[in-house]
Each structure stands twice: as C-alpha cells, then as structure tokens.
Amino acid sequence: MSVTERAKVLDGTDDDDLSDRYRDERDWVAGRIELIRGLPHVETPLIEVPLPAKLDGLRLCVKNESVHPSGSHKHRLAEALFTNALASGWLRSEGPVVEASSGSTAISEAWFCQQLGLAFAAVVPSGTAKEKKDAIRDLNGNVVEAPPGADLCEHARQYALKVGGHFMDQFTYAERAYDWHGEHGLAPELLGAVDPDWFVMGAGTGGTVTSVGRYARNTGRKVRVCVTDPENSAFFAGWRDDNPKATDKGSRIEGIGRPRVEPSFLFPMVNRMIRVYDAASVAAMRVAADHLGFRPGPSTGTGLFGALRILHGMQDRGERGTVATLMCDDGSRYNNEYYNNDWCAAHGIDFEPWLDPITEFFQTGDWQPPTTFDTAPRPSDTLWNM
C-alpha cells in the first residue's frame, strides 16, 4: 500500500469510522434497572429444625426461599439474570425474553417480565405437565413446546432469533450474573444470620452453590459447600472425574440434576458431593411435610437428605456445628406429582422404605438406612425438568 492510499484509508472517507451499530437504549435500560432496584427486597426467614438430644451440639437451619414473590430461590437468579442482561445491552424494549425452562426459573422470569413490561416465552419439553404451563401463562408468559428429543437450549436460542428476542440462558450466565462479592444476595443473608460449617443443596445451573463458595472465599468464612446430586445427573461424575464434558440422562427430581455439566457449575467451589436416591429425596420431602413443620418440593428433599448424612457423620465424630440448606420452593407446586402416590409409583419412585429411617433420625438421632429397596429404572430418554 502506498503512502497516499494509506492516508486515504485513515482520513475517515472509507468505512473505518462507524457509529451506532447497536442500538443504545440507555434511558430505557436505566429505567428498567431502577424498577428492579425498587422492588421490595425479601430477606427470607431461617427455620431451625428441632433435633433430638442425641444430636446435642448440632444445628440444622433451613432458609425458606419459597416466600419470594415468584415462589422459589430462582427469584434471586432471575433478578440477577435480568440485571446482567440489561447492563450488558442484550435486552431491548420490543423483544421478548426467552428461556429454556419448564419449572421455577420460567415462573420467576415470567414474574420479572410482568414487572418490567416485557413479553416472555418459556421453551418447554414436549409433554410438560399442564399445571406448569398454566403457572407460566398465569404470569402472561407464552409457552412454546419443543419437539420430542430436541435440545431445549438450542431450540430456545433459535426461537429467540426467530422472534427477535433475547435467550436468557440460565445455564451459561447464572454464575456470571450472581453478585457474589456484594452484600445483597443469598450468601451474605445466610452467613450473616448463621455461621454454618456446611451449606448443602442440589444443583441445577450451579449458580447458587458457586455464589456461596465464592462469597465464602472472598470473606474468609469457614463454610464448606456440599452438592447433593440426584440419580442420572452428570454433575457427580463430572466433579469426581474432573470432567466438564460428563453426560448422563438427567434427573427425575424437579429443578436439580442435569444431563450434562453446565458452564455455571464450577468444580473448585464444591467441597463434597453426595449422590442421593430419588426415593430418598421424595421421602425426605414428605418427612419434612409431616414432621418438621414445612412442606417443601423435591429438590429440598435432596438437600435435606444430604444434611442428614452430614449431621450423622458429625455426630459419629463427636463434632459440634451447624448445617444449612434451602427450602427451594413450596410443595404446593407438586401436589399432583411427588406428593401423589400414584404418580410416584408410575415413575418407579419407591419412597416408602425410606420414610421410617428418616423420621427416626429426626426424632431420635439414630440412623439406619433401609437394607433393601427398589431403585427407579434408568430412563431410556434424556430427562429435562428445569
């Protein structure tokens, strides 16, 4: 290139100085973020579960996330995702928000869209229960059923392109969106109210456990993180083998367990993992409803069973301390599923043998798991229930 030609390129007469390639709706974005900040903040209550004398010196605390306006701990995730997407310039005033979810995340995102004056579409698996679809529609959300066997996230991505919307993608952005170093969020609330030795919960995106692990390290807290993983989920094997490409069939437990290791599940944030039988999860959920004073959903049962295992181990070693877990959502969402005996039987979830041992532990401190029980048959197709 000659000097003359180079001068021509750099003098602004060619396409080397462009503006406004992407629309900057700064005022609209600022208004939406201000709306989010102005929504009432709910500091969720902490339930201390009474433990028997044999477990003296041990505490079990359950943070009740079901009291959020959208009914679950996914309310915090949805708030973080919307704030992140607005500040990143991804959300526009006229485009709908699209998410791949048939459960609590879809309901929480639909709730926020209603507050912000945005359209919402949930891309759900074929055959999603009518009750779940109705809950999304009750919040003015649109329900789009993906074909059988479709990759739900990819289907949601393509649908967002088709309608000119934004695919929120909870599985990729959960760990990036959560504020883990501020004082507004689950981790500072929980650790400000109690100083647990262990925090236990199942993982869906992995965003919540990652935020707690990061906050603990950032603030020098002692709490360690245990993830309870249901049958057929990829997280346990992925973490055990340090294999982010691990895959499995998914999970029968609503809201947790995935057929693949999601980007927001960061292995170093997790200190321990416990594989939990689906039947034990459902039994723990039902024991909580019948004996412990709160009626949770099945993912809470998975976390509660892990808390039982940790408490039993601490008692055996003569340790003192506190275990914390979440009530992720209210059991009323699952009256026709996990609280329905016929539904459980149809899905091969034989929870009965686990009821008495779990009840006995919370009444006496003795733990004797069932010696024989049936496990649910391994699914032939990939499961999706997020």
Express each pLDDT in 201-250 by its tens digit.
999 999 999 999 999 999 999 999 999 999 999 999 999 999 999 999 99
Residues β-bridged to residue 201: 227
pLDDT tens track for 308-367:
999 999 999 999 999 999 999 999 999 999 999 999 999 999 999 999 999 999 999 999
* Amino acid in position 336: N
| pLDDT tens-digit readout, 243-289 | 999 999 999 999 999 999 999 999 999 999 999 999 999 999 999 99
| Non-local CB neighbours of 175 within 8 Å, separated by 6+ positions | 205, 206, 207, 210, 211, 263, 264, 265, 266
Q: 250: closest CA among 237, 240, 260, 264? A: 260
For residue 1, name the pLDDT band (cuts at 50, 70, 90). Answer: low
Q: What is the pLDDT of residue 137?
A: 97
Containing 371, the helix (H) or strand (E) segment is none
Whether 77 shows a pLDDT value over 90: the answer reads yes
Strand pairing report for 46-49 and 58-64:
antiparallel
pLDDT at 78 over 60: yes
Fold: same for 46-68+180-364 and 74-174: yes
Predicted TM-score (pTM) of the model is 0.93
Residue 11 has pLDDT above 60, yes or no: no
- Return all residues near 117 (Cβ < 8 A) that are at least 6 apart: none
Domain boundaries along the sequence of the chain: 46-68+180-364, 74-174
Q: Helices then strands (H, E): number in the chain? A: 14, 10
Contact between 68 and 76 under an 8 Å Cβ cutoff? The reply is yes
pLDDT higher than threshold 60 for residue 2? no
Sort residue 320 into left (φ over 0), alpha (ψ -120 to 50) or beta.
beta
* Structure token pair of residue 15: 């396409």
User: Which tokens in the block code for residue 162?
Assistant: 């088709």
Region 24-38 average pLDDT: 96
Rg of the Cα atoms in the chain = 23
> 231 near 377, Cβ under 8 Å?
no
- Report phi then psi at 286, rounded to 5: -75, -35
CATH classification of 74-174 is 3.40.50.1100, yes or no? yes
d(CA 49, CA 323): 10
Note the CATH architecture for domain 46-68+180-364. 3-Layer(aba) Sandwich (3.40)
